[in-house]
Structure 1
């Protein structure tokens, strides 16, 4: 007999449970204080009713003074309980949001990318807005419980005056929440779609910022802006839909709460007219009917906030629960070993095989840029070892058997479009502040003119994505960072495409000199770098077709001469 499948909890629900579980103490304190606040607020109209009742029986100054003191105690309790209760809850909320932001950021910064179909702009939205909205559950639950306390206290007080009043409050509250629970599902679905569209718009903005300069260069900025306008318009329309749904929800909640308050007031008036309740009880009932609208409104809004928190948690789960592109092994590369690529087939690569011996400086002249990019991705472990045929060995160990952190420490692949971060020249070259050979890297990459140009030197501010630097300066800054890492193996992909020929010649000599005795592989079409290499491999149509020194290839291979000569 086949066992029934057990349904696994949805990742979003698991995230919310985690947030609730580790904030139980703060939530318990906040719930107690907010419950005290609601109970004290409920006690205010009850006290007024009792004061009216006793004042009509005994009109003495002493009793009036006691009444005033009682109201003062109630007001003080309301003020202090709200102040400290919200302080506890908001501190827990902020701390929890920070935890989730750090977790999402940690996933995005892991050595191995997550297998998730999201762009960087979308992940940024998840790490900010969705993290905040998920953490709101820390406040939602205590406020929900405290609102329930107010409703229960009001129902009990009214029930003591007349059972029908208490039952009216209970039945009315259940009916209101039943109607709003159905409506909150629509809010959750609409909110999820809105968050997704806003995130896509954010990702589009990030792409535009990255490619703004080249877009201006070939006149594609208008088409790009048109594309963003369409994505942004979709997000705007969905936001309007969500606002409309929220408006209907809020209006319905307010109307139902008003109907319940009116029903309690009219019923109390009728009972007082019939002589079934006293004037003091009538004052209490009318006061509670007016007061109860606030906790009922708060109580009825909670399902909406729960659905929003659930939607945000499910979006965070897209990042947090996504498996890594590749599983990290546990072995370490042998120091002093070669870099070996054997029969690699991936994309346009059709069985690439070569070896870079320890301490050797090798250049690869790739005739097709796509092949160069795919080879760099394989070496950078951006492609899972199981996603391509063949093997890549570092220090005699295959990439799939190595810990990714160990690969990153042993083998650095610097992409042609290396990111530049907001900070300073120094923090871009040595982000960890580990005291790497920054000066030597600056000199080798010829970043010295940029450093000398500014009074702050290496502490010169750099804007986000290097907006205050030229293309050549950004490229040399990225190269300096790669050289300062001083890894045993270094792979450079087109490191000098944005610099002039004279600068390129000097950089090539400097890199060869600085990396002497270290394994270096440069994927490039630069004649200067090809000439500085110990040998050159020609990558054409996905395979290595020739191998020799740059000058011998220039003399003997016409195709090579046409491809690299400038």
Structure 2
């Protein structure tokens, strides 16, 4: 499915209706037939009663019964197939919008949504479903209108005041409920936002549960979630209360209208103005009218809810991109140059890495290391900082984002692990030819050997069944298996012991030989195997050289990295 450019919730609803006009037309026809057949049932019953009271011919009574059977068959099949078409269209449309929201979230260029991942998840699920429900509104509205019109016409034929009463009462009911539906829409939008925030909060809580337990912050985090959840609960109660009043008022008004029609018909029968058979028709139609009127009166509410959800989806689909990438995809070589970059704690930072060189960057301040990793990964748009980053002598700003990702891979310090298998995490695309070598280089072989199914061992959500060191090594193996021309590793060994760290450092050097590699680290093992160490202090390069050379002549370096 191609991206659909939208700006507002109204556009989303228009797109939804336009894409499903064929299914809506077919279901409207079938459901209209259903309502017409339902309306014909009390009419035929009244005719049968009239025949019986007047002592009509048996053949005429038989024809009436046959007609009743055919009408009941029409009721059954038209509802069955009309509902099937409508349900399929709604489910398919909800799927389309879920895919659309997910696609926006997975695009190489991030969007400025201002939402957390948990909120986007809620939009991609609940709001997509609520928006797709607008497909049902038109067929159900039209079919209910058909029923009301047929009922009003039949009653007008029997008695003009009865028909007028039905049409006037329906208009009054819809006017009252239409006012309330607007309030439901506003309350629902607020409730959906609060539920989304609660979802985002619990997602963050689960992701950080392990470190929270470590420093005893789990109770405070739980209390923060409880406050957000309580606000969502209160708003949900408000919405439920308004919905309850809406439903109760709608049912009451519909019942009053049905009762008024029935009592008026009884009075007309008592006066002798209509027959017993006509009374049966009126009473049957009055009772039947409650259901389509209920459906008819609920449509404004569903429309307001769908519109509120569509507006929330527009927050994601209409969000502007964080950057406008270039279009060039050709990179002549695999060198890297950082020239005069000023961002965050970085101050006019300048250094270069030759093609095939293994360079370590020792940043005395952790924030400087994080800022450098953010710049190199294009997490920070080039327009947001001063200076230039070049890949293969070409500015990153001039390259298509896909080209940047192909040539330059930055593996962040926060190692993400996904539910699936070890193999899925090491080689998500299933195209790497270096899976075994990457697993060995990252010293992940012990984890693989622990399980009989090896690389096919199941990994829980966020790697819950792995230790911190295992997750870090799994993330490193993934980066090595990708085998990019330029690989940047940010603190890849902070969660492993010293012996394992030395082995990993040697393995990375061997596996990446001839490929450009940059490691942002303070690990002596990684610094020692690097061809060159670039020292950052205060956001600028203060020294360069080999690890052992710097240890011998730079006291500040020795103090910062010696363990």
The two structures have a TM-score, normalised by structure 2, of 0.98
* 1:164 equivalent in alignment to 2:161: yes
Corresponding residue for residue 111 of structure 1:
108
Please show how residues 110-149 of structure 1 align to structure 2 within 5 Å: 110-149=107-146
- Structure 1: runs of 5 or more not aligned: 1-7
Shift of 1:96: 0.7
CA 1:241 to 1:356, structure 2 compared with 1: closer, same or farther past 3 Å? same
1:240 and 2:237 aligned: yes
Q: Distance in 1 between matches of 2:22 and 2:169?
A: 33
Q: Is 1:27–2:27 an aligned residue pair?
A: no
- Residue deviations 1:239-292 (CA, integer Å, cap 9, x gap): 111100100110110111111111111111122222222221111111111100
Partner Cα distance (1:540, 1:236) in 2: 49
| Separation (CA, whole Å) in 1 of partners of 2:252 and 2:239 | 20
Q: Which residue of 2 aligns with 1:348?
A: 345
| Match in the other structure for 1:196 | 193
1:306-328 deviations in Å (ceiling 9; x for gaps): 11111111111111111111112
Report the Cα distance in structure 2 between the residues aligned to 1:434 and 1:464, rounded to whole angstroms: 23
- In structure 1, the residue corresponding to 2:329 is in which secondary structure? coil
Task: Quote the offset at 1:215 in angstroms.
Answer: 0.4
Residue 3 of structure 1 is matched in structure 2 by none
Partner of 2:91: 94
Alpha-carbon shift at residue 333 of structure 1 (Å) = 4.1
Check the 8 A contact 2:343/2:371 in 1, yes or no: yes
Q: Does 1:178 align with 2:166?
A: no
Give distance in 1, aligned partners of 2:79 and 2:183: 32
- SS class of match (2:61): helix
Q: Which residue of 1 aligns with 2:515?
A: 518
- Say whether residues 1:283 and 2:280 are aligned partners: yes
What SS does the aligned partner of 1:521 have?
A: strand
Give me the whole-angstrom Cα distance separating, in 2, the residues matched to 1:391 and 1:458.
41
CA separation in 1, counterparts of 2:169 and 2:546? 88
**Superposed structure 1 runs of 4+ greater than 6 Å apart:** none
Residue number in structure 2 paired with 1:486: 483
Q: Which residue is 1:409 aligned to?
A: 406
**In terms of mean alpha carbon deviation, does 117-126 or 275-284 score higher?**
275-284
Partner of 2:257: 260
**What do residues 180-228 of structure 1 show as CA deviations (whole Å, max 9, x unaligned)?**
1110011001110111011111111110111100000000101000100
CA distance in 2, matches of 1:455, 1:71: 68
SS in 1 for 2:349: strand
SS in structure 1 at match of 2:417: coil
When residues 9 and 179 of structure 1 are mapped into structure 2, their CA distance, relative to the original with a 3 A threshold, is farther
Out of 502, 522, 546, which is 1:549 matched to?
546
The answer on 1:527 being equivalent to 2:527 is no
Q: Is the 8 A contact 1:430 1:436 kept in 2?
A: no
Quick one: which of 299, 305, 308 aligns to 1:308?
A: 305
Q: 2:49 matched to 1:52?
A: yes
CA distance in 2, matches of 1:67, 1:527: 96
1:288-310 CA distance string (max 9 Å, x none)? 11100000001111111111111
Counterpart CA distance in 2 for 1:424 and 1:436 is 17
Q: Residues of 2 paired with 1:501 and 1:522: CA distance? A: 17
Q: Are residue 334 (structure 1) and residue 327 (structure 2) matched? A: no
Do structure 1's residue 360 and structure 2's residue 362 form an aligned pair? no
Measured in 1, the distance between the counterparts of 2:50 and 2:209 equals 75
Aligned to 2:388, the other structure's residue is in SS state strand
Native 8 Å contact 1:121 1:199 kept in 2: yes
The 1-side partners of 2:27 and 2:308 are apart by: 24
Q: 1:518-553: per-residue Cα shift (whole Å, max 9, x none)?
A: 111111111111111111111111111111111111
Match of 2:222 in 1: 225
Deviation at 1:136, TM superposition (A): 0.8
Q: 1:293 aligns with which of 290, 294, 297?
A: 290
Show the counterpart of 2:10: 13
Deviation at 1:54, TM superposition (A): 2.4
The correspondence of residues 455-466 of structure 1 with structure 2, limited to 5 A, is 455-466=452-463
Contact persistence 2:47–2:64 (CA under 8 A): no
In structure 2, C-alpha distance between the alignment counterparts of 1:274 and 1:389, rounded to whole Å = 92
1:9 to 1:273, Cα distance in 2 relative to 1, 3 A: farther
Of 50, 61, 74, the match for 2:71 = 74
2:451 equivalent in structure 1? 454
- Give CA-to-partner distance per residue, 1:392-430, whole Å, 9 cap, x none: 111111111110011101100111112111110111111
1:565 aligns with 2:562: yes
For 1:545 and 1:166, locate their aligned partners in 2 and report how far apart those are by CA, in whole Å: 91
TM-score normalised by the chain length of structure 1: 0.97
Aligned residues: 559
Structure 2 counterpart of 1:251: 248
Q: Is the 8 A contact 2:339 2:348 kept in 1?
A: yes
SS in 1 for 2:323: coil
Partner of 1:5: none
Which secondary structure state, in structure 2, belongs to the residue aligned with residue 413 of structure 1?
Answer: strand
RMSD: 1.3
Equivalent residues of 2:7, 2:318 under 8 A apart: no
Is contact 1:365-1:536 (8 Å) kept? yes
Give 3-state SS (helix, strand or coil) of 1:323's partner.
Answer: coil
1:397 aligns with 2:394: yes
Matched, 1:85 2:82: yes
Q: CA offsets, 1:354-402, max 9 Å, x none?
A: 1111111111111111111111111111111111111111111111111
Task: Give the stretch that moved more between structures: 274-283 or 362-371.
Answer: 274-283
1:433 equivalent to 2:430? Answer: yes
The corresponding residue for 1:213 is: 210
Long gaps (5+) in structure 2: none
Structure 1 stretch displaced more, 268-277 or 145-154: 268-277
User: Counterparts of 2:42 and 2:325 in 1: how far apart (Å)?
Assistant: 65
> 1:493-508 to 2 correspondence within 5 Å?
493-508=490-505
> How far apart, in 2, do the equivalents of 1:517 and 1:336 lie?
12
How far is 1:10 from its partner?
A: 6.2
